[in-house]
Structure 1
Amino acid sequence: MPRKLLRRYLPEPHAVREHRLLRCFGSKLGHPDLWHLHRRCVARGVAVGFLSGLIPGPLQMLTAALLSLGWRSNLPVALLVTFYTNPLTIGPIYWVAYKLGSFLLGGNGNGVVQQPMPDFSFGAPLAWLSAMLDWMIGLGPALLVGLPVLATLLAIGGYFAVELFWRGWIVVRRRKSNARLRV
């Protein structure tokens, strides 16, 4: 069962509360919903992880932790889910966010057709770098709209996916249990 497996690897709440860097949060880290593995807290943790996963840089984990404290979601699950953005997946995810933002803004966001990515030139790397920077700035409006919309869609989808999967798991287990009792 996934809960038993997760419990084996989760830290003990009292150990986290007593950690020297986390003492400032005091009793807020002691709330049971931050550590319990029940359907709603885990679903909220997945939603928080998806929502904060598209925030650039090291702020993902901090945002996930703060949102978990505010929304009483499972803290370790929220922190773990933020890893869906990694060096292998960030390119495709940002491409989807750009396309979504372009669609929502009707084109690429500023009424100008987006130029193709500049080809690298070994002869003039500084000129290429300048052209690449201009190209990336042109992506700005679409990404600015697409990233929060994509993060929200992923959070909503993740929440309901966990709810449905968890409920399905319970239904299957009850049916198996009832079938054993009948035999």
Structure 2
Amino acid sequence: MNRHFDSPWTMPRRLLQRYMPRPETLRRQKSLRFMHHLLGDPSLWMLSRRSVGNAFMVGLFVALLPIPLQMLAAAFGAWLLRCNLPLSVSLVWLTNPLTMPVIFYFNYRVGAWLLDTPARHMPDRLSTSWIAEKMADILPALLTGSIVVAIVVGLLSNLTIRLIWRWQVARSWKRRARQRRQRQA
């Protein structure tokens, strides 16, 4: 009797592996040669409940901070926590040129609320000159709100991914037990 054993942990892995680049592909990229030693570390490519949950935490935390070089910061965070590097780096694209103003304005409003300061309303036409003019007023609330929102979203995403992963594994175990009972009957 030839049974195909499919570990319950492979279900979430297969879904993620479909969209992730291979380490070999990235190592061949000339622009990434300086990171060759980092790209060769197998712990940064592992797909487990812990590594994926931590990757979401790192990627979303960095994405919600108004800092330059977010992808580099996410890669460093993934290296520090030994979590999935491609996921961490790709999640920073949550804040792209289209979503960035909305997300950072929300962070600013949260920071203004936490600091109990009146929030400035966005002008009808947002410009760099308006931002430069108001930066001294905006920056404390923006940084406070961004850090708080980043921590909350990072921790919630980690918890959510781990719970979804655990639910998928339990569902797979139940399905396999049901199939085993049906075969025995």
Q: Which range, TM-score by smaller chain?
A: 0.7 to 0.9
Tell me the distance in 1 between the aligned counterparts of 2:154 and 2:99.
17
Relative to the length of structure 1, the TM-score reads: 0.79
Higher RCO by CA contacts (8 Å cutoff, separation 6 or greater)? 2
Q: CA, structure 1 residues 118+43, in 2 after alignment: closer, same or farther (shift >3 Å)?
A: closer
Residue of structure 2 aligned with 1:60, choices 62, 70, 92: 70
CA-CA distance at 1:173 after TM superposition = 1.0
Match of 2:90 in 1: 80
Query: Cα RMSD over matched residues?
Result: 2.5
Partner of residue 124, structure 1: none
Give the Cα–Cα distance (whole angstroms) in 2 for the partners of residues 21 and 132 of structure 1: 34
Measured after TM superposition, the shift of residue 135 of structure 1 is 4.0
Alignment map for 1:1-183 (pairs within 5 Å): 1-56=11-66, 59-105=69-115, 107-108=116-117, 113-118=118-123, 133-183=132-182
In structure 2, relative to structure 1, the CA distance for the partners of 1:182 and 1:39 (3 Å cut) is: same
Q: Does the CA-based 8 Å contact 1:29-1:69 persist in structure 2?
A: no
Whole-Å Cα distance in 2 between the matches of residues 62 and 129 of structure 1? 25
Long gaps (5+) in structure 1: 121-127
Is the CA contact (8 Å cut-off) linking 2:66 and 2:146 kept in structure 1?
no
Q: What is the total number of aligned residue pairs between the two structures? A: 171
Query: Quick one: structure 1 residues 117 and 70, their matched pair in 2 at CA, closer, same or farther if it must change by over 3 Å?
Result: closer
Identity %: 36
CA distance in 2, matches of 1:48, 1:32: 18
